[in-house]
Amino acid sequence: MEYQVEVEVSLKPGYSDPEGETTRKALIELKYPVNAVNVSKVYNIRLEAASPEDAGRKVDEICRRLLANPVKDNYKFKLEELK
């Protein structure tokens, strides 16, 4: 079975986000009333797995091994079975 997975990796609170901060300053310069900007990354993954549980287990492993740094990143994901 094939699954479509959306993984969002974002910085843990307290870690500085220079890209978000630069974006916020650029928006303020353009006169937009912006209070905060945080940037995160989304991985859209198409993955083969035997069941939703198997897919969830694999994705969790993938996040811990490759996509997220456990020191500074949080991650969350949602998955959907493809017909």
Binding site for a copy of itself (CB under 8 A): 2, 8, 10, 20, 23, 26-27, 30, 32-49, 58, 62, 65-67
CB closer to a copy of itself, 32 vs 53: 32
- Angstrom distance (rounded) from CA 71 to CA 24: 25
Min dist CB 71 to a copy of itself, Å, is 19
Min dist CB 28 to a copy of itself, Å, is 11
